[in-house]
């Protein structure tokens, strides 16, 4: 296997990890804690708020994981015209953009629910 294919498989794995991390949050299986989930002092103190915000964040993680898997798979098409560095930059941007959107949506929901 060449480096580009291994890189694509790595990002597919990262997408699967996003999905794996999102499912328990979506299903409200994670109790308030300081280690896993969308955590702020306000959310950790309020059980109802914890489950509402983390359910949304879990859904967003699952969507981000699916998009990352599809995007990584799609990169197989462009494998012949992209260098390894270009491929890594594109996929890292996809990961970071997903995380930024999840954080923004989490804080946005928190702000709406606190009113």
Q: List CB contacts of 44: < 8 A, sequence separation 6 or more.
A: 32, 33, 34, 50
Rg (CA), the chain: 16
Residue 115's pLDDT is what? 74
Residue 1's pLDDT is what? 60
Residues 28-53 pLDDT 10s: 999 999 999 999 999 999 999 999 99
**Structural domain count, the chain:** 1
Domain extent at residue 109: 3-114
């Amino acid at each position: 296997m060449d480096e580009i294919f291994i890189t694509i498989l790595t990002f597919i794995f990262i997408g699967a990890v996003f999905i794996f991390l999102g499912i328990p949050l979506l299903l409200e299986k994670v109790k308030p804690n300081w280690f896993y989930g969308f955590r702020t002092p306000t959310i950790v103190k309020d059980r109802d708020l914890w489950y509402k915000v983390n359910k949304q964040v879990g859904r967003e993680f699952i969507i981000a994981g699916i998009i990352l898997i599809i995007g990584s798979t799609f990169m197989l098409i462009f494998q012949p015209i992209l260098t390894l560095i270009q491929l890594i930059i594109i996929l890292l941007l996809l990961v970071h953009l997903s995380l930024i959107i999840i954080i923004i949506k989490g804080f946005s929901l928190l702000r709406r629910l606190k009113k």
